Amino acid sequence: MEARTGGETGGYLVPASPWAIYVTADFIFSQAGISSQQVQQAIGANPQIPSLLTATSGKAKYYSTTAGPTFRRRVGSVTDLYATAGFGWLRRTVDFSGAATEGSLLQPSSQGVAGISGNSGAFDVGVGWSRRLFGGFAIYAEARVLHGLAINHGTTLCPISAGIRW
């Protein structure tokens, strides 16, 4: 196997094959606001959490790290197509905020009233395109699907990214 160098994580060119195989690690962070309709759904679905009754807004945060193989194929002198997959960890946190219920002198105007979080395994798959520029730089575009397991089995993120990598 011939080692490849450059702006990649590290990998090997499979002998007598147009494929290069890399081991890559990825970190994803995302956050999103929660609509008032979603807050009402959460209140209705969780009557066992009385503090949630005062919620008026919220925010969801997602953290994930995965590792796995990337299969890269050169399709031109400076262009590559690739597919990637990985397995790792996902943390999902949902924080609800609402009006202060115990006076407002020392309370923030939008205090936290309930929070739910969970850790689980996760897997991701994705495809991408890159074009080498100069000095080890490349432009790229890729799309992924990240899906949580166990407690986060209802969580699926579909990040699309583009930019410059080295």
Per-residue model confidence (pLDDT) at position 10: 53
- CATH number for the domain including 135? 2.40.160.20
- Report CA Rg, the chain: 22
d(CA 61, CA 30): 6
CB-based contacts of 126: which residues, under 8 Å, 6+ apart? 83, 84, 85, 142, 143, 144, 145
> Who has greater pLDDT, 144 or 111?
144
pTM, full prediction = 0.73
Binning pLDDT at 50, 70 and 90, where does residue 2 land?
very low
> Who has greater pLDDT, 57 or 10?
57
The answer to whether residue 101 sits within a structural domain is: no
Quote the domain boundaries for residue 127.
2-35+59-96+115-165
The answer to whether residue 157 sits within a structural domain is: yes
The answer to whether residue 47 sits within a structural domain is: no
d(CA 51, CA 90): 26
The answer to whether residue 72 sits within a structural domain is: yes
Per-residue model confidence (pLDDT) at position 103: 54
Q: Is the pLDDT of residue 135 over 90?
A: no
The answer to whether residue 46 sits within a structural domain is: no
Looking at residues 109-129, what average pLDDT do you find?
85
Per-residue model confidence (pLDDT) at position 56: 81
Q: How many domains does the chain have?
A: 1
The answer to whether residue 110 sits within a structural domain is: no
> Who has greater pLDDT, 100 or 20?
20
Looking at residues 30-54, what average pLDDT do you find?
82
Binning pLDDT at 50, 70 and 90, where does residue 80 land?
very high
The answer to whether residue 107 sits within a structural domain is: no
> Who has greater pLDDT, 104 or 21?
21
The answer to whether residue 153 sits within a structural domain is: yes
